[in-house]
Structure 1
Amino acid sequence: MESIFFVHITDIHLSKPGKQPLFGLTMSDKLHSIFAEIGKLETKPAFVVVSGDLTHDGDLEDYRFLRSFLQAEERALGVPIHVALGNHDTREPFREGYLEEEPSDASYYYSFMNDGLRVVVLNTQVPGSHDGYLDPEQLRWLKGVLAEPAPIGTILVHHHPVVATPTAMMDSHLLQNPQDLAAVIEGSDVIGLLSGHIHFHNIGLLNGILCASADGSAFGLDPMAEGVMRMVERSGYNYVLVKNGQMIVQPMMVPGEQRVLVEYDLKKLQAAHS
């Protein structure tokens, strides 16, 4: 059985040129650096998948810029780039600006095949919230997709992770109904789950199935910080290999100084909004 290698990127938080940069950083430059590293690989990936937070503000012009940016990277790399939506994304501007469709608030999820590997891209976003949830309609669709096994298995890509983190604060950012997802994929050909949202590498199991979150392209978070949300100037992504019926993940980091960008005291934030 031949192996398949691809790249998983997440939380790119792009904005159109001319906007005030988040943390003073140009996120498109950070993402371009990742694609430049991928372009140097001896083995070309079969595809790239981006698991949400495609833009920071979710504006129409941001998605138009995202479309042109990723199209240029696709041409340079010579492989397709697939995307999922995250909590910072908005559906109507995404469909109009990125997909060039009529604006619609319909949920965005789909599947594709690559040399016998099936990738299912889910939408865990809850409009107007940072929470993650898989609605019953999407879970029914997923069950139908998984009813027929793929030749070498299925990988799910979604924004909100399901694996517990080092802190209670970051555990609050997980998918709210992982048990519903676990019930649908039980006994199926799913070999792995890939996600983002938490802005650090985090690997664990969901009922014995490997789950891997990736560091953010735009910035990282300190996974061990208690009571604060500490943003760090750091970029990462995952190399993913499917081999012998398994998903194998190699976390990658872009070299940098890893300085603290900003730190939010959660108790003070809660007091200010109470």
Structure 2
Amino acid sequence: MKAVCFAHLTDIHLNAPEKNNPLFGLDMTAKLRAAFADLASLKTKPAFVLISGDLTQDGDLEDYKHLRTVLDEESAKLGVPVHVGLGNHDFRSPFRQGFLGEEPSEKNYYYAFTHEGLRIVMLSTQIPGSHDGKVDEDQLKWLEDVLSEPAPQGTIVVLHHPITATPSALMDSHLLLNIDELAAVLKGRDVIGVLSGHIHFHNIGSLHGIPCAAATGVAFGMDSTSASTMRFLDNSGYNLAAVKNGKLSIQPRYLPGEHRMLFEWDPAKQPAHA
């Protein structure tokens, strides 16, 4: 069966340019466009692009309208579709109105699609008003139904919050809250990989033998070796993925950057940083 290659981006943290309040003084739109330019330079074009949440920093209506414009432009230039999910920095009503062009609604946003026999399931781990993440009961029931029939090339599950341990005890506190409940649904099914973001560094693990890969942020990175503080870094990257004969492979890609420290948060001394 033909290999399916795709790109996994995450944590793009866009703000509308007219707001004139760039996060860390960085142009997140330029960083996102640089990631798409890197994709366009590859010898093998990805079949599609996934973005696993934290689409915006503030989650305002104008941010999602700006996001729609940028992604439409980049999707057209690359010639492939872009599929998005929500993260803890996203807000459902402005997203539905500004990005999807729907009436504002707090209805959760999750879905599945199939490309050349490979099924992609985009979950929502968003808890409104919280930076924590959970796959709610309705989604778990829906997911169990989706996975009841196997896909020819298997299933990739995509969500914002990671489900496997990291090198940092502090970052482990930012994993999905109900990992065991999700794992019970995934175990024994045709799931060949779980992709996530949120922690802003590449992290590879496994759960019940299922490969799990978190991608670094497009907007900025984090220091995975910092045990007691969060060190925000000026770097950027994404993951390339390929599925061949029902097996997933991941190739992390880093984009050129200064790799300087932008901010350091010490939870013992400072209030939570957004």
SS in 2 for 1:184: helix
2:66 matched to which residue of 1? 65
SS in 2 for 1:18: helix
Which whole-Å CA distance do the structure 1 matches of 2:221 and 2:112 have between them? 28
Which one-letter code corresponds to 1:38 in the other structure? Answer: L
1:46 matched to which residue of 2? 47
1:126 matched to which residue of 2? 127
For 1:39-96, what per-residue CA distance to the aligned partner results, in whole angstroms no more than 9, with x for missing partners?
Answer: 0111111000000000000000000000011000010000000000000000000000
Which one-letter code corresponds to 2:261 in the other structure? Answer: V
* Residues 111-190 of structure 1 mapped to structure 2, 5 A cutoff: 111-190=112-191
2:211 matched to which residue of 1? 210
2:2 matched to which residue of 1? 2
2:16 matched to which residue of 1? 16
Matched, 1:84 2:89: no
Count residues with an aligned counterpart: 272
Which one-letter code corresponds to 1:84 in the other structure? Answer: G
1:106 matched to which residue of 2? 107
Which whole-Å CA distance do the structure 1 matches of 2:266 and 2:162 have between them? 23
In structure 1, the gaps of 5 or more residues are none
Supply the RMSD in Å over aligned alpha carbons: 1.1
For 1:217-262, what per-residue CA distance to the aligned partner results, in whole angstroms no more than 9, with x for missing partners?
Answer: 0000001112211100000100000012111000110011200011
Which whole-Å CA distance do the structure 1 matches of 2:153 and 2:18 have between them? 45
| Identity of matched residues, % | 60
* Residues 254-265 of structure 1 mapped to structure 2, 5 A cutoff: 254-265=255-266
SS in 1 for 2:18: coil
Moved over 3 A (4+): none
Q: TM-score, normalised by structure 1?
A: 0.98
In structure 2, the gaps of 5 or more residues are none
Q: TM-score, normalised by structure 2?
A: 0.98
Which whole-Å CA distance do the structure 2 matches of 1:259 and 1:238 have between them? 21
1:167: Cα distance to partner? 1.4
1:14: Cα distance to partner? 0.3
Which whole-Å CA distance do the structure 2 matches of 1:150 and 1:18 have between them? 44
Which whole-Å CA distance do the structure 2 matches of 1:109 and 1:225 have between them? 33
